[in-house]
Amino acid sequence: MQSKSDTGSRGYLVSIVMVAVLGGLLFGYDTAVISGADKGLQAFFLGASDFRYTDFMHGFTSSSALIGCIIGSALSGLFATRFGRKRSLVFAGICFFLSAWGSMFPESMLLPEGKPSFTLLVAFNFYRILGGIGVGMASAICPMYIGEVAPSEIRGMLVSWNQFAIIFGQLVVYFVNFLILGSHTNPVITQIGQGFSEVVAGSDPWTIATGWRYMFGSEMVPAGLFTILICFVPETPRYLVMVGRDDVALRVLSRINGNTKAATILQDIKNTVQARTERLFSYGFMCVFIGIMLSVFQQAIGINAVLYYAPRIFGDMGMENPMVQTVVMGVVNILFTLIAVFTVERFGRKPLLITGSVGMAIGAFGVALTFGNASLSVVTMLSIMVYSASFMFSWGPICWVYIAEIFPNTIRGAAVSVAVAFQWIFNFIVSSTFVPMFNMHLTHGDHFGHWFTYGLYGIICVVAALFVWRIVPETKGKTLEEISMYWKRKS
C-alpha cells in the first residue's frame, strides 16, 4: 500500500484549488450584483439636487466595473510576476472587499449620508472600478494559479471548475438580491425625454434608499472569506522555482504529487526556466497570438449579449415572465458547464471547442431566422438555450483552461495579462454594441437588427471553429513544461 508521501494528497490539492475557485465565484458575483441593484441605484441618484442624472450617466455607472476589469487584467501580469500568484490574489480579495463596502456606503463618513450628489456618484464609481480591478486580476490569476499547481492529468478539469464557480457566483447573487428585496419592490422608472428618466411617484422608498446598498454590501461575505483563506494556500511551484526557492517548490510538489514524482516535475520545471522572466515573444509570435485570439473569440461569439440581456431578449419575444426563462437558462448553463468539467480530460480541449462552436452557430442562426415570428417563438427560445448551453461546455471553461496552460512558464504572467485584457476589451465591445445592433431597422417594423446581430455571431462561431481546428494545438495530458518545450521547438 502506497503512502501519501509516494502518491501525494488529493485532499490537499482539492482544498487549495477550491480556495482559488472562490476567486471565480467572486468574479461572477461582482459582475452580476448590478442586475438586482440597477433600478434602486438609478432612482437614488435621480433624486440628486446638484446635477441631473442622465441615462448615459447611469449606463456608465452600471458598467464602470468593466473599466476596472480591463485595468486589473492588464496589471495582473506585472503583479503575478513581481509579487507572486498568491499575494496578487490577496490584493484582488482586498479590492473585492473594499469595493463591496464602498459601494454599499460610498459616503464613507466623509459625505452627507443618504444625500445623492455628483461627488457621491464619483465616489460610487471609484469603488465599482476598484471592484473591477479585483475581477480583472482574479479572472487572469485564478486559472493561472490552478493550472500551475494541478497535475497534468487533471489540470483541465480543475481549471474548468473556475468557470463553474463564475456561473454559480452569478446565480448566487441573483438569489441573494431576491432575498434582500423580499416583500419590497423595485422602483418604477419612466423616460421623460431623450436620455432622461424619472421615478414614478409611489415607488418603494426602502428600495431607493437602502435596498441597493445591501445588495452591494452582501459581497463582503465571500470577499472576506476569500481574502482570509488565500493567505493559507501555498505559492505555486512554478513561481517558486522562478524566484529561486526550489526547496519550498519541492515541498509543495511533494504534498500534491508524492516525493518521487515531485522530484521529476521539479527538474522539468528547472529545465524550462532559465530566468525569472523572458520577453513576451521569446517563444514566437504564434504562442501569444493563439492565446489572444482564444480570448477574443470567447467574447466575439456574443455570449455576453445573451447573458447580460436575457430578460430583454425574452421580453421582446413576448414571454409573459422573462425572468422565468432567464432562471431556466441559468440552470441549463450550470449543468452544461459540468459536462466540460467531467469530459475535458477524456475528449480533449479542441474537440469540445469545435463542437461548442458548431452548436453555438446552429443556435445563433436559429435565432436569426426565427426571431420575431410569433408562431416560432418556441424554436427561438430553444435556439437561445442551445447557443448558451453550447458555450458553457466549450468556450466558457475551455478558453480559461487554455489560457492557464498554453503559455510557457517564464512568460505566463505577462502573456495571460495581455490575453485576458483583450477578453475584457471585447466583452465591453460586444456588450456595448448589442443593443444598437439588435434595434436596427431598415424599414418600420422589420427585424433586420435581430437577424443581422445573431447572423453575425453565428458567422463568428464558424470562424472560431475553423481557427481552433487549423491552428490551436491540443494540450490534453501534457505537462506545462512539455507545452513550453513545444513552443521552444516551434520558435
The one-letter code for the residue type at 196 is F
Distance of alpha carbon 188 from the chain centroid: 30
**Cα–Cα nearest to 427, from 140, 172, 185, 66:** 66
Residues in the chain: 491
pLDDT of residue 302: 87
| CA atoms of 71 and 77, how far apart (whole Å) | 11
Distance of alpha carbon 485 from the chain centroid: 29
CB 49 within 8 A of CB 192: no
489 contacts: CB under 8 Å, gap ≥ 6? none
| CA atoms of 162 and 135, how far apart (whole Å) | 13
| CA atoms of 122 and 135, how far apart (whole Å) | 20
| CA atoms of 20 and 5, how far apart (whole Å) | 24
C-alpha Rg value of the chain to the nearest Å: 23
Grid cell for residue 192: 421623460
Burial classification of residue 266, based on how many CB atoms lie within 10 Å of its CB (0-12 exposed, 13-18 middle, 19 or more buried): buried
Residue ranges in the chain modelled with pLDDT below 70: 1-7, 193-194, 273-278, 307-327, 435, 439, 441-447
427 contacts: CB under 8 Å, gap ≥ 6? 66, 69, 299, 304
Report the C-alpha dihedral over residues 461, 466, 472, 477, rounded to 10 degrees.
Answer: 80
pLDDT of residue 316: 60
**Cα–Cα nearest to 15, from 161, 124, 135, 132:** 161
pLDDT of residue 443: 60
**Cα–Cα nearest to 238, from 255, 253, 227, 226:** 253
| CA atoms of 84 and 67, how far apart (whole Å) | 24
Grid cell for residue 430: 460586444
Task: Kindly report the pTM of this predicted structure.
Answer: 0.83
| CA atoms of 37 and 93, how far apart (whole Å) | 22
pLDDT of residue 310: 60
| CA atoms of 235 and 220, how far apart (whole Å) | 24
**Cα–Cα nearest to 272, from 259, 257, 283, 284:** 283
CB 242 within 8 A of CB 83: no
pLDDT of residue 1: 42
CA atoms within 13 A on the CB side of 378: 1
Q: How many angstroms separate the Cα of 354 from the Cα of each of 6, 414, 420, 451, 471?
A: 38, 27, 21, 23, 12
| CA atoms of 150 and 158, how far apart (whole Å) | 7
